[in-house]
Chains A and B, each alone.
Chain A
Amino acid sequence: MLLLPIVKMTKTVMKSLLGGSACKMYPLRPPTFFGGTRGPVEIDPSKCVLCGLCAKKCPAGAIAVDREGKTWEIDRLKCIVCSLCADICPKKCLVLRNDYTPPVTGETKDVFRIEPVSKEGHQDQGKSKG
């Protein structure tokens, strides 16, 4: 009669001692993400044509496209990683990374310089983070 709880308890104790932690042990072990995880937005500046559709579609108003200054800028803390910009981009130059947005202590805006394809057929590339 007394044996059953002792047997069950021993099983639980053995499982806890030898089974390893149920936690993900972050940051000792690197975090696992999935293929579909939505993370910070990355832009390929060589493909962008400064159409501004992403800025119009963004529900949080995090993207700003400057046609004269030729920059594309995103405010990391306003972005809600909904991926509407990546879905609507006609040139498919926006992609969401597969990890989480890292915390920032200072500047929250990332600015990218866009050089559009020039008429002679060769393109200049330039990117600066400000």
Chain B
Amino acid sequence: MGKRTVIPFGPQHPVLPEPIHLDLAIEDERVVEAIPSLGFVHRGLELLVEKMDFQEMVFVAERICGICSFMHGLGCSLGIEEIMGIEVPERARYLRTIWSELSRIHSHLLWLGLAADAAGFESLFTHSWRVREKILDIAEETTGGRVIFGACKVGGTRRDIDGETLVRVLGRMKDIEADYRSIAAVFRDDYSMRHRFSGVGVMSREEARELGAVGPTARGSGIARDTRELGYAAYGGLDFEPVIEDAGDCYARCMVRVREVHQSFDLIRQAAAKIPGGPVEVKVKGFPEGEYFSRLEQPRGEVIYYIRGNGTKFLDRFRVRTPTFANIGPMVKMLAGCELADVPVIVLSIDPCISCAER
């Protein structure tokens, strides 16, 4: 029976992109219990509904997080459009899908770089981010901003991608995909990556279901759930299956994200082939009155927005429950019983986006 020590993990740690604090109770290098502590980047963004009218809230929503920013703006717009009964034009829905998938690719590439860094494989980290730069260049060319796109608004999108730019972007994407394939092969086959991630942080399918895990954290444990199947934006017309792995350890979650990038490239190609012509926005008249829960699939999982309007230009409530917030419970359960040296890998494997979790 060893002596119990409490080791603080975070808020500053090389593996964490954003600050979270964990108190790890350990006995002889084995973690017995982990207690999370949030609140370092809590900005209280939900209270801004008192000052910003409903169209400006889309800008606030986009700035909740830098990595998943487009989909926050999309979720806010979708919620308000459902409340007001606005029908978004077909072309805008396909454009939103293309930008969402670009957002997913760049977020997963960021995570893959961080995962390689957690394993100590720094050249793979820089290669992943090198490929990510090319995706950000595509985003800048089509929307004007590298990370904060500013492209979504209530009633459609603020910009259009003309046919010529789209063809050019697709041509470049083919080269990017070939480049990405060589990196993905390293994640899949390299001995040191496998050794670092396999068997670590195992979560069985029953546990994942009970704890309410979302996103790749759940799909890596065999739960076939992807909120894109609800059919928002243009996903109803595209053909895809949720990417699942069965092992439930960090390697499985890594593989889910690697394969999802391939799936996103394919989805962008499908959407670009089917995109119709037409306008990209409709005029918004009146104020929202009513409530709606809008659900989306962010790179980290299912995000849900509760938007309530009362007929004035200020919303009553704008509540965001981000996927990282839902994955904190599973993370705490995974940490119990693991070795101390595996803690950074487990914390990273749920893809913690704490600024989203705390808004």
Contacts and interface: CB of A to CB of B under 8 A. Distances in A.
Per the CB under 8 Å rule, do A and B touch in the complex? yes
Interface of A: 22, 33-38, 59, 80-83, 87, 96
B183 to A, nearest CB: 13
Contacts, number: 35
**Which of A34, A35, A81, A96 gathers most chain B CB within 10 Å?**
A34
Nearest to B158: A87
Contacts of B28: none
Given A59-B59, A80-B59, A37 B140 contact: yes
Nearest to A57: B56
A48 B60 CA distance: 29
Question: Which 5 pairs across A and B sit closest by C-beta, in order of nearness?
Answer: A38-B144, A34-B141, A59-B56, A36-B144, A59-B59
B294 interface: no
Contact of A37 (B59, B60, B144, B158): B144
Contacts of A81: 145, 150
Contact of B144 (A59, A80, A83): A83
Interface of B: 52, 56, 59-60, 63, 130, 137, 140-145, 148, 150, 158-159
B140 A83 contact: no
B56 A38 contact: no
A36 B158 contact: no
B143 A36 contact: yes
The DSSP consensus for interface residues of chain A is loop
6 contacts: A34-B137, A59-B56, A80-B63, A81-B145, A81-B150, A83-B144
Given A36-B142, A83-B144, 15 more contacts: A33-B140, A34-B141, A34-B144, A35-B141, A37-B145, A38-B150, A59-B52, A59-B60, A80-B59, A80-B63, A80-B148, A81-B145, A81-B150, A82-B59, A83-B158
Contacts of B159: 36
A52 to B, nearest CB: 17
A35 B161 CA distance: 12
Contacts of B137: 34
A80 B73 CA distance: 15
**Which of A80, A82, A87 gathers most chain B CB within 10 Å?**
A82
A34 B60 CA distance: 25
A83 B145 CA distance: 11
Contacts of A33: 140
Nearest to A23: B130
B158 to A, nearest CB: 7
Contacts of A35: 141
Contacts of B142: 36
A104 B141 CA distance: 26
